[in-house]
Each structure stands twice: as C-alpha cells, then as structure tokens.
Structure 1
C-alpha cells in the first residue's frame, strides 16, 4: 500500500532532507517515526530534497507499507514519535503510479528577507537579514529576465549533479510587507542551490550594486562564476508541489501571513 503524506519542518537543526551517516536529517527522523507506526522499516521518498537549514511548509512524501492503518494513525502516530520541529500534516492513500518526486509537475519556494537596520531575534534562522535598504522594484525588473525556459547553469551549484540545466520558471515575484521582503518562485523543477543563487543576484540588484539587466547577463553567461553569492539557507522555504490529476492534496497551510 502506498501512502502520500504532507510534512512541515524547521530545517535549522538538520543537515537537510536526505539521510547522511554522520549527521541528523529530516528523512531519518520521518522514517524512524513512521517505521514505528508500521512496525516495519519504511523509506520516505520526497518531492524535493532540501539542503541544510532549509525549511518546508508542505513537503510531499510517499511511503510503501505492508500493514493497514487509518490515515489518522499515520498522522497522529507519526507525530508522537517525531521531534517538535517536524510535523506530519495529513496522510492519504495513493495508487502505486504515484511517485512524490517523479510525478511532480511543478514545485514552489518562498524566500524571506528581513530588510531592516537591526538583526532579527524572534525570527533568527527563519529569515535572511539584510540591513542595506533594498529596492524591490529593481529586484522585480531583474527577476523578470529569468521567467520562461532557460539554461540555468549560472544559477546552479558547481557540484550540481543534474544532467540537464534547462528549467522553466513559471513565476518569480518579489513583494514587500513592511520590513519583510517575500520572494516567490515556481518552476517545473529546480537545480541545486538555484533559488538561493537567484536570490543572491537579486539582493545585489536590490542594493543597487548592479543594474537589473545583470540578472540576464549572468543567465546568458552559463557560468556559475558569473553570478553572485549563494543566499543563506535559513530564509528558504519549500512551499508546495503540483501534481496532475488524479493526485490532489491539501493546500499548504498558512502559518504566518507571509508564509
């Protein structure tokens, strides 16, 4: 029996989603918790692997199990065995044709920037702090160059293992909510560090260190060294996944107005 589940987590204490031998991961915690409910070892496959320190509002996973449990049992039983910074939101039976990663048609991220003079206390490790004033309109102008289908070699990590750097960005918007700047991006898929590298370029444009056209110059260079810094992980949230029919899952929860 295959089950899809929605998971949220604070990625700050973890090495990322993926299991590692020498560090604690979200995957290891989720698998351990659900294995106790199943009374056998389970493997959790996610829609999009997140890096160290990256958070998730609605990560989609699937597991294959050999026992019958109610969906309520998977949610409540899983949460009883999880640390407080990871939570299962829902569980739903799916056919074996569903695959959390390969069935995904689009993925969505949000990046939060606290733009004020003083560093965050309450939102420490939940946002990226930028004390220089940022011009959101300039950032949006730069972002517009990245819409559509492009070779994003300049915006991926040097060690990215994806065979094809071509991705289609469906939307990329930047908006200000008082001291908070929210970057929202959706695409058919993302390369390693792609969102963080895009934000790194947009931050430089927002500080008026480079013109908006620089985002396109970086894109056309097809060379990672042409880009800017990789923005910090703790401002990044995996926000949700789109699937074709018949797979329909609950919408991401609204935890805070900005999320």
Structure 2
C-alpha cells in the first residue's frame, strides 16, 4: 500500500468547504471522485485541516493510500486533467505510511486580504474583504504584536468550535499594505475554527478606531467571543502553506 501526499491549490468560492458535507459540494468530495476515476478504486483523502465555505488555499496538504502502481506524475498531471478549473494539484510525493498531514504539521501560514478603497473592486470581490473606511495600519500593527506567543484564544473562536483547548501559539502576525490591498499574514502552530477571520475582523475594527490596540491583550486572557471584533468574511482568507520541518521555525521566529 502506497501513501501519496498532495499539495492542493483551490478557489473555495463554489464549495461548502474542504470537508465532506451532506448539504453541498466540498473540495474533498471533488478530489476523491477524481482520484476514483484515476485509480479505479475508492480512496479517502485526509487533509492537514479544514477550510470553511468560501475560503481558499494555495498549499493545502492531503494524503491518500492506494495499491495502484502509477508513476508520481499521474497524481499531478493526470489528476489535474480530471479536476475542475478551480482545484489544482501543485505537486505530489510518496511518503511514509505513518505520515499524518494534521498531527505532523509544525505550523501553518494563513493570509487574510482586505481591499481598502473608497470604491468597490469587482475583480477582488471573491478574494478579499472590501472595506471603504480608511484603516490605520500603525494601530493594527500595534495590536497585532499582542497575538504573538502562547495565548488563550477563547475570544477568537467560532461558537461551534469543538477544540479541547483554546490555547494556541502564534509566531508572527504581519500587517502589510500593497496599494489598495492590506495583507494580514499569520504564522502559528495551529488554529481554532474562524480564529484568523476573527483576528482579522478585530484588527480591522482597531484600524477604524472602534477599539484601542491594547484590547487584544485583554481579549487573550480567556475572554468570551462576544468581546472580540466581528468575524471577517470568508473570501479574504487563504491557507498559504503548511510546514512540516524546521524551516518553519527558522523563517518565522
């Protein structure tokens, strides 16, 4: 039995999220159906995490097991021929049987994108949160510093989150402007449901002067979700990369 790792890029606009769900089409379902056509057998695909409806990924890691002795290029080029245009295999590799894409991950990089302009941008509407009110990046950066370290993110998780603990470690949060775009890059060991979106929503409210920057420090003492900012919309979020080796720590500490 072979264990194959895939690096997937996808536009989550038309999907209910990564995970199989009875109420709509998921990324996982489409990938598994394409693999069944390629392999002639049913397989289950296990990912490094879940993304919600409308959330995108540039580097989702997933694995499956198969008895078929196809060359590796078949799991990249062959599979891409069977996938829709909004899902792509970036690369594939054969890994050890005990590789666990979720448990073995050392860290993840998420990027949240805001278009901060007085007029709406039709071309960005599916990939960014459009905010007309000017944002003060200095205030946002001052607040972002408080996220770094081992913190209790209870105030930054969705109500339906089932995680056993709300303590997570964040290595860095960078707020960068590129023209009308503001990117919030978050590097951490792991994340709660909607955590980055709530972080982005809170930073946006701070950037608009609705909250002081030091409110983040208070929220990270285990406060309730109701005290944090809004949950930013899903289309601005993208899973950029999942890290499995020391290069994550070398680059982001």
Normalized against structure 2, the TM-score is what?
0.95
Q: CA deviation at 1:221?
A: 4.7
The corresponding residue for 2:59 is 58
Name the SS of the counterpart of 2:202 in structure 1.
Answer: helix
Q: CA deviation at 1:66?
A: 1.0
TM-score (norm 1): 0.93
SS at match of 2:12: coil
Deviations 1:136-182 (A, max 9, x none): 11101101011100110000111100001110000101011111000
Task: Give per-residue Cα distances to partners, 1:99-136, cap 9 Å, x unaligned.
Answer: 11111110110011000011111112111101000011
CA–CA distance in structure 2, aligned partners of residues 46 and 148 of structure 1: 26
The structure where helix makes up a greater share of residues is 2
Please name the residue that 2:106 is paired with.
105
Runs of 4+ in 1 over 3 A off after TM superposition: none
Does the 8 Å contact 2:152/2:222 carry over to 1? no
Q: Which residue of 1 aligns with 2:30?
A: 29
Residue 185 (1) aligns with residue 209 (2):
no
Quick one: distance in 2 between partners of 1:211 and 1:219? 14
Structure 1 Cα separation of the partners of residues 245 and 219 of structure 2? 33
Gaps of 5+ in 1: 249-259
The answer for the alignment partner of 1:154 in structure 2 is 155
Output aligned runs, 1:163-202, within 5 Å.
163-202=164-203
1:1-259 equivalences in 2 (<5 Å): 1-244=2-245
The answer as to whether partners of 2:153 and 2:222 remain within 8 angstroms in 1 is no
- Measured on the aligned residues, the alpha-carbon RMSD in Å equals 1.4
Task: Compute the displacement of 1:233 (Å).
Answer: 0.3
SS in 1 for 2:76: helix
Structure 1 window deviating more from structure 2 (160-169 vs 209-218): it is 209-218
Cα displacement (A) at 1:220:
2.2
Deviation at 1:222, TM superposition (A): 2.1
Shift in Å, 1:217 = 2.1
